[in-house]
Chains A and B, each alone.
Chain A
Amino acid sequence: MLSQAQFNEAKAAAIKSEPLTKPVMLSEIKLSDNSQKDGFIHLNDSRVPASGAFFKQLASLLNINQTLNSKFEKNGDAAIGNKLIGAVKHYTERRGGDVPLMMVANRDQREVTGIVKADKFARISNETLFKTAEEILNEVPDMHIESIDNGGGTSRINLIHTSEVGFERIGKDEVFRFGISLVNNPTQTQVDDFFYRLVCANGAVAKDMTAAFQLKQANAQGIAELFQSLKAYGKNGFVPRAFSERLERATGTRASLSEVQRAVDSVVGNLKHEDPEMRRRLQESVVDNHFPMYKSTMARVFNAGHNPDFLTDKQKSFIKTGMSVWDLVNELTWLGSHNTVEEYENRARFKAAGGSLFAKSNYDLEAAQFATI
């Protein structure tokens, strides 16, 4: 639980890092041969620094296909850059006119970092996000702030209700507190589900578990609808629909090698340590301590005559591990909620990774038993 001082500190930091925005028309953006390689665009005759993410988003909103987009990202090929120039022109001239866009910039990095179609920009400011959190705290007496994650251009306020909801039919340890996570990324405000498993003090955030719950438009009507949805959700104690059924599925389904590998990659890839030897040791230690079944499953695959490095994700999704999906969720959320010896770039990301895995519509091996029929 956060103190008022910590809350205020986080609020001030979030307000300070508020992304700058500028509405522009597509035709106002001028690119040169080296724009992508050198990281800049021309806007109103000014040379404006632009991040790789910006070019990726620009390509995406111009419907440039994914393969081209990836090549673009990997080598910054000038020829591919030219194609982007062509796409901007093509889109402006052939798609029936200009396109209103919203450009997003990071004032500390002094570069534009994102771009979306203007009607897709649905975001309240960080200040309003924090005020909304304060209002929820005032209106719902047993609500408090579990944590605030600021980073990567995203502010996330995790609010939790003190009442405990047990699912003892599934396991005696399965007692939770529920809440919400108010999230502001640079172009979108949304409300994710947040739940907290008491036995190990793990917090998890999960998108898309409840029905669509995001700001749909950055105007009074959109804001009123968001407030209304929050209020209605609060009346139900913030317990996501069908949580118990999902929990039962997660505890009763083995995690696939693909699911475990994705979790392992996201954790070890986030380690902060620079020294290669230290990094290698820590990677091993993290895998041994949190994902012990990973190594044994890999060994099993080798023994069966396959090299796991050459298996596709799809093939790995058919290989069972000794962990349940729920075990895997808990390992991720534990790492996201506790300080450990090893340091991470953004530990809070694991809360979302765990929540996303839990909220996945179908687990890889959910229907595995039917393969034997």
Chain B
Amino acid sequence: MIGKKEVQVRKYFTQEFSGEVPTGKVLDLFQNFQTHPLGEGISYSLFNGVIKKLRGPQTVAEVTQTSRVVATPSAAAKEVELEIVEIGNMDFPDFKCFKTGTLLDKLFSDHEEGGGIYGGTANIVIGESGVGKSTVMLDILAKIKRNQPEAKVLYISSEMTRNDLFFYYRKMPIIAEVPTLLLMDYIQTGFVKAIEKALTGEHDVILIDSHQDIIVKLKDVLGWKSTYAEAWLTNLVIKAADGMGKSIFCIQHMTKGGTYVGSTYLKHATTSMMEIKFGPGNRRYLEFTKNRRGGSLVNKPLFYSMADGQVVYDQASWDQLVRAEEVAHTEEARREELESEFDDLFLSATLQTSSVEEPTEFTEENKVEVEQ
């Protein structure tokens, strides 16, 4: 519900600035507002609060149409026509499949020989701070580029500056040719447009580093509400992935306790969730905890190390894991055989002797004191 005073402020912006909030200091805007007939009886804090809202989701025009607007998502308020289509008659994008040429491809997908990263997927990458999320993902982009030069990859960094990136590059020369967009360059102006353009542009595989940091910047710098910022960015990611057939990777953060802290909306909407972790002896590994394109390899750790300026996956450990799986299958089958033999030996009719004593029923008299 919006109060009369807020409507008054919104009308002011509609009349004077066509519904847009001009850039500049809020205090200067407030001083001008006070000279306007609509400015009477409005405090600075209320004015400032309305500006924060206006720079966020709703346009002034939408709100000023009525003095009492119920805060429901605009999409729900519109008339919706349901489009129900048989699955076989649906339009599907031309799924591209990008390969890094490493063991990791298998983990990304078991739908294709040799695996690979499918287009039309939104993926989350999580891990505690410093574990190597950006390193692994940049390496993936670089290897796709090396393996499929025609693939258009893009690294969108909201956290790193050029200087930060220099040290990454020095550590990993393989990333030299990864096209990169530094959002910090747009923090003063065009931040939102830059994100929109990058995600809906020509690139096929896009890494967002990080989803949470972009939300924080939308909130702190542009005054958006965090729930709105989160929904806006997630919708954009889904649009780019599902609607435009791109493969989007969103780096997310974890608590120190290992809990995912990002958007639940994003978590549920994504195709896969890849976790990067420290294993025994501080060896790093990655594993998928969810993967709609590679279900058979979920929760299988792939260890890696850094060598010659790039990520090297541990083939021997992987082979060992595969072998362990084979052994586990064999063991399971063998246990079934042993159980069957047990049944034949002890539970077959021939062993049910005539002198079977009736099992004693439990009574209060034979209750035992059991150590708790």
Interface set of A (CB-CB < 8 Å, partner B): 18-23, 30-34, 42-49, 62-65, 68, 82-91, 103, 105, 107, 110, 112, 124-125, 127-128, 218-221, 223-224, 227-228, 231-232
B346 at the interface (CB under 8 A from A): yes
Known: A47-B351, A128-B331. A22 touches B366 (CB 8 A): no
> Is the beta-carbon distance between B351 and A223 smaller than 8 angstroms?
no
A31 to B368, CA, bound (A): 14
* Chain A residues closer than 8 Å to B348, beta-carbon distance: 46
A124 to B328, CA, bound (A): 8
**Those of B299-358 within 8 Å (CB) of chain A:** 317, 320-321, 323-325, 327-328, 330-331, 334-335, 338-339, 341-343, 345-348, 351-353, 355-358
Q: Per a CB cutoff under 8 Å, which of B320, B347, B370 touches A87?
A: B370
* Chain A residues closer than 8 Å to B347, beta-carbon distance: 43-44, 46, 48
* Chain A residues closer than 8 Å to B345, beta-carbon distance: 20, 105, 107, 110
> Is the beta-carbon distance between A22 and B320 smaller than 8 angstroms?
no
A228 to B317, CA, bound (A): 8
> Is the beta-carbon distance between A220 and B324 smaller than 8 angstroms?
yes
* Chain B residues closer than 8 Å to A107, beta-carbon distance: 341, 345
A21 to B334, CA, bound (A): 10
> Is the beta-carbon distance between B342 and A22 smaller than 8 angstroms?
yes
Known: A23-B339, A224-B324. A48 touches B357 (CB 8 A): no
A86 to B367, CA, bound (A): 5
A227 to B280, CA, bound (A): 13
B79 at the interface (CB under 8 A from A): no
* Chain B residues closer than 8 Å to A44, beta-carbon distance: 347
* Chain B residues closer than 8 Å to A90, beta-carbon distance: 362, 367-368, 370
Known: A20-B345, A22-B342, A220-B325. A125 touches B334 (CB 8 A): yes
Interface string of B89-112 (1 = CB under 8 A from A): 000000000000000000000000
A20 to B334, CA, bound (A): 10
A63 to B157, CA, bound (A): 58
> Is the beta-carbon distance between B362 and A85 smaller than 8 angstroms?
yes
Known: A22-B343, A48-B346, A91-B370. A223 touches B327 (CB 8 A): yes
Sample 30 A-B pairs with CB under 8 A, ordered by A number.
A20-B338, A31-B360, A45-B352, A46-B346, A46-B347, A48-B346, A64-B368, A84-B368, A85-B366, A86-B366, A86-B367, A89-B362, A90-B368, A91-B370, A105-B342, A112-B346, A124-B327, A124-B331, A125-B334, A127-B334, A128-B331, A219-B328, A220-B324, A220-B327, A220-B328, A223-B331, A227-B320, A227-B324, A231-B320, A232-B281
* Chain B residues closer than 8 Å to A219, beta-carbon distance: 328
* Chain A residues closer than 8 Å to B325, beta-carbon distance: 220, 224
Chain B: CB-nearest residue to A218 = B331
Number of contact residues on B: which range applies?
35 or more
Q: Per a CB cutoff under 8 Å, which of B357, B368, B370 touches A32?
A: B357
* Chain B residues closer than 8 Å to A18, beta-carbon distance: 338
Q: Per a CB cutoff under 8 Å, which of A82, A84, A85, A223 touches B324?
A: A223
Q: Per a CB cutoff under 8 Å, which of A32, A68, A103 touches B360?
A: A32
B150 at the interface (CB under 8 A from A): no
> Is the beta-carbon distance between B338 and A21 smaller than 8 angstroms?
yes
Interface set of B (CB-CB < 8 Å, partner A): 280-281, 317, 320-321, 323-325, 327-328, 330-331, 334-335, 338-339, 341-343, 345-348, 351-353, 355-360, 362, 365-372
* Chain B residues closer than 8 Å to A232, beta-carbon distance: 281
A259 to B346, CA, bound (A): 43
- What's the nearest-Cβ distance from chain B to residue A290, in Å? 41
* Chain A residues closer than 8 Å to B281, beta-carbon distance: 232
* Chain B residues closer than 8 Å to A223, beta-carbon distance: 324, 327-328, 331
> Is the beta-carbon distance between B320 and A224 smaller than 8 angstroms?
yes
Top 4 A-B residue pairs of the complex, sorted by shortest distance between their CB atoms: A30-B359, A89-B362, A224-B324, A220-B328
A223 to B332, CA, bound (A): 12
A105 to B330, CA, bound (A): 20
> Is the beta-carbon distance between B328 and A87 smaller than 8 angstroms?
no
> Is the beta-carbon distance between A125 and B331 smaller than 8 angstroms?
yes
> Is the beta-carbon distance between B346 and A42 smaller than 8 angstroms?
no
> Is the beta-carbon distance between A224 and B342 smaller than 8 angstroms?
no
- What's the nearest-Cβ distance from chain B to residue A269, in Å? 30
A82 to B370, CA, bound (A): 13
- What's the nearest-Cβ distance from chain B to residue A36, in Å? 12
* Chain A residues closer than 8 Å to B330, beta-carbon distance: 128
Chain B: CB-nearest residue to A49 = B346
A85 to B359, CA, bound (A): 9
- What's the nearest-Cβ distance from chain B to residue A21, in Å? 5
> Is the beta-carbon distance between B359 and A32 smaller than 8 angstroms?
yes
A103 to B317, CA, bound (A): 34
Most chain A CB within 10 A, of B360, B365, B372, is at B360
Known: A22-B342, A86-B367. A228 touches B320 (CB 8 A): yes
Chain A: CB-nearest residue to B279 = A228
